[in-house]
Amino acid sequence: MLTPPPPPSPVPSDAPRGSGIRRAEREAAETQAALSWRQRVGALRNVPPLLRLVWQTSPALTTANLLLRLVRAFLPVAMLYVGKLTLDEVVRIVNEGFAAPGFAEAVRTGELSHLLLLVAAEFGLAFLSEALARAVSLTDALLGDLFTNATSVKLMAHAATLDLEHFEDPELQDNLERARRQTTGRMTLVSTLFEQAQDVLTVASLAAGLVVLAPWLILLLAVALIPAFLGEAHFNAQGYSLTRAWTPERRQLDYLRQVGASAETAKEVKVFGLNAYLTERYRVLADAFYAANRGLAIRRAAWGGLLGALGSLGYFAAYGWIAVETARGRFSIGDLTFLAGSFGRLRGLLEGLLSRFSSVASQALYLDDLFDFFEIQPSITSPEHPRPFPVPMQTGFVFENVGFKYPGPGEKWAVRGLSFELHAGEVIALVGENGAGKTTLVKLLARLYDPDEGRILLDGHDLREYDLDDLRSHIGVIFQDFVRYHFTARDNIAVGRIEARDDLPRIEQAAELGLADAVIESLPLGYDQVLGKRFREGVDLSGGQWQKIAIARAYMRDADVLILDEPTSALDARAEYEVFVRFKRLIEGRTAVLISHRFSTVRMADRILVLDQGRVIESGSHEALMAQKGRYAELFDLQAAGYR
């Protein structure tokens, strides 16, 4: 079956044309070669933990579903047997003839009582079968929705525990993408497993009837179906290999779809005329994925038809034998219908069982993606017996010969040999050119990363000794690339201290301090106005207005340590001045770190640190640094010259 090409991850624009496609084709071949039968069957180890997840989702619905299927399992043999009895009764009546002159008289005298009872029983079984089918579908759907919700929550909760480093790793992004897909589709596997159990019981009941009359028919049926089962298993494994190997390309396709048709990128796409380029890049990837999928689908259809014909041959050979034996008088007409019906149902059930077993093994392989993601553990965690954050701080932070480099190809030190003190209650500003290590320093301070060399002390103790959640709850950070949440204005500010979401006076005070109050007053619904254009009722803001909302979050945080990374880059000069007047008043007595390229802003700091290639090369007040005529003075003069 052809499936549309799914999602993706951005690739460098200078990647060789078609290199990702060749990689995907190579990996698909390598993955397929590695998927031995032992590995496919071994993937069934994922079934028990999946069933545990389903049971934990809703024990009541799971139990109801299983009981309904148990009853359904024995209905086919019951219906076939009642049908056999009905046919035999009809033949008996035809052979003996009616004693009564008409139908009404036959009913009154009881000649048709047994036949009508059998017909009523068939109707009752048919009605019960339909009712049970609908009940099973209902419980499947409800359980599926609950399972998707529960698994998605579990995935989000686990993702929240991972390190920032994990989210900057493309390989983990692929893993997360595959895991995310399993939260919505794996209930199909559970339904398949339950259906397998139901059909096994049905097969056992039908086979019992065949064993009494013609046991060798079951052997014939199994021999005819095994080739089709092996073929289905082979192509299921190939489908998994293809899907897994093409994960990066599918993420690229999703990314290109988003870039080519989204409000965030529409202006640049139009101005730079990127539509043709993006469309062509998407088309090349999509066509390649389609070609790989098409080839597999064609081979699967061709071999499936050929091998399926063997099953049909076995069925009609058996049917012919039953018909001949009935003609010879060995079986009654009722036996003929029971045997033919049982054999036909058995064929369909066994085909389904074998096919679904192969499908279960393949789908269980996909579960590796989900459970592998759950097995990823963070390296930045709280110790077994953590220290609480010191309130108030006594001495502050000390960086002792700190070194750190981001993981990945071409690793180089972002900071190294970094040593300085941030005293309790002090405001320091970080200055330096892009790539000097300013934002890295902030991430280390908030323990989004741990140093590769040296250590960071808080009141004389290593930062790693403190409770992680407690540490971060006392630090308020607003990064330059702050998130624009498509929530209400109230919630956009409340995320700074989400547990105080219902404290409107606090939210309003934070908005006033961040100069966001005027922005919110201009919105049609005020604090209840949804921001951003993702949703129909949303209202978008300018860059400066969004930045005021983000600054309000920092005030909402009311943290002991405030860190502002380029907090006013989108504000005009007047708004920036007002923000820092209020900021200086607010942080009095608190510890703060300020990163800015505007020297008019950093002058308010108690001390300015100048960073270059991950090291502190100058430290002091604005006046002292200007008197040194070093790097700070050079950068200040360059910026001041632009205003002359």
Over residues 565-622, the pLDDT tens digits come to: 876 666 676 777 777 777 777 677 789 888 887 777 788 888 999 998 888 999 998 8
**pLDDT at residue 2, rounded to an integer:** 34
Structure tokens of 358? 């192969």
Lowest mean pLDDT among 374-378, 411-415, 429-433, 599-603: 599-603
- 606, amino acid identity: D
Looking at 261-274, list the stretches that DSSP marks H as alpha helix, in order from N- to C-terminal side: 266-271
User: Residues 165, 38: contact at Cβ < 8 Å?
Assistant: no
- Number of neighbours of residue 350 by Cβ within 10 angstroms: 23
* Cis-peptide, bond into residue 409, ω within 30° of zero: no
Mean pLDDT taken over the chain:
78
**pLDDT at residue 398, rounded to an integer:** 94
Q: Residue 41: enclosing H or E segment and its boundaries?
A: helix 37-42
Residue in 448, 475, 454, 458 with CA at minimum distance from that of residue 398: 458
What are the CA-CA distances from residue 477 to residues 114, 448, 480, 487, 604 (Å)? 83, 11, 10, 20, 19
Lowest mean pLDDT among 33-37, 221-225, 583-587: 33-37
Which are the contacts of 163, defined by CB distance < 8 A and separation ≥ 6? 378, 379, 380, 448, 449
Query: How many helices and strands in the chain, by DSSP H and E?
Result: 25, 10
Cα dihedral 437→439→441→444 (10° resolution)? -130
What is the C-alpha to C-alpha distance for residues 521 and 509, in angstroms, rounded to an integer?
13
Domains assigned to the chain = 40-364 (1.20.1560.10), 428-436+482-641 (3.40.50.300)
DSSP letter, residue 18: T
**pLDDT at residue 106, rounded to an integer:** 65
Mutual orientation of helices 170-185 and 113-161 as an angle, nearest 10°?
A: 160
User: Residues 493, 552: contact at Cβ < 8 Å?
Assistant: yes
pLDDT bin (cut points 50, 70, 90) of residue 257 is confident
Looking at 58-168, list the stretches that DSSP marks H as alpha helix, in order from N- to C-terminal side: 59-73, 75-96, 103-109, 113-161, 164-167
Structure tokens of 627? 């008197």
Question: pLDDT higher for 268 or 79?
Answer: 79
As to burial, measured by CB atoms within 10 angstroms (0-12 exposed, 13-18 middle, 19+ buried), residue 339 is buried
What is the C-alpha to C-alpha distance for residues 133 and 140, in angstroms, rounded to an integer?
10
**pLDDT at residue 301, rounded to an integer:** 74
Residues in a beta bridge with 420: 399
Residue in 197, 540, 220 with CA at minimum distance from that of residue 357: 197
Mutual orientation of helices 187-213 and 59-73 as an angle, nearest 10°?
A: 20
For residue 402, the SS3 value is strand
Per-residue DSSP letters for 246-264?
A: THHHHHHHHHHHHHHT-TT
527 pLDDT more than 70: yes
Where is mean pLDDT largest: 20-24, 219-223, 539-543? Answer: 539-543
What are the CA-CA distances from residue 532 to residues 203, 555, 556 (Å)? 57, 22, 21
- 308, amino acid identity: G
Where is mean pLDDT largest: 9-23, 31-45, 232-246? Answer: 232-246
What is the C-alpha to C-alpha distance for residues 499 and 580, in angstroms, rounded to an integer?
27
| Sign of the four-CA dihedral 46, 52, 58, 60 | positive
508 pLDDT more than 90: yes
What mean pLDDT do residues 617-636 have? 89
What is the C-alpha to C-alpha distance for residues 128 and 74, in angstroms, rounded to an integer?
12
For residue 533, the SS3 value is coil
What mean pLDDT do residues 98-116 have? 70
Mutual orientation of helices 333-375 and 113-161 as an angle, nearest 10°?
A: 10
Q: Over the stretch 383-400, which tens digit does the pLDDT of each residue have?
A: 989 999 998 899 999 999
Q: Residue 521: enclosing H or E segment and its boundaries?
A: helix 517-521
pTM of the entire predicted model: 0.63
Longest dimension (CA), the chain: 127
Q: How many CA atoms lie within 13 A of 508 on its CB side?
A: 8
Question: pLDDT higher for 62 or 187?
Answer: 62
For residue 403, the SS3 value is strand
**pLDDT at residue 310, rounded to an integer:** 67
What is the C-alpha to C-alpha distance for residues 208 and 331, in angstroms, rounded to an integer?
17
Mutual orientation of helices 47-57 and 187-213 as an angle, nearest 10°?
A: 110
As to burial, measured by CB atoms within 10 angstroms (0-12 exposed, 13-18 middle, 19+ buried), residue 270 is exposed
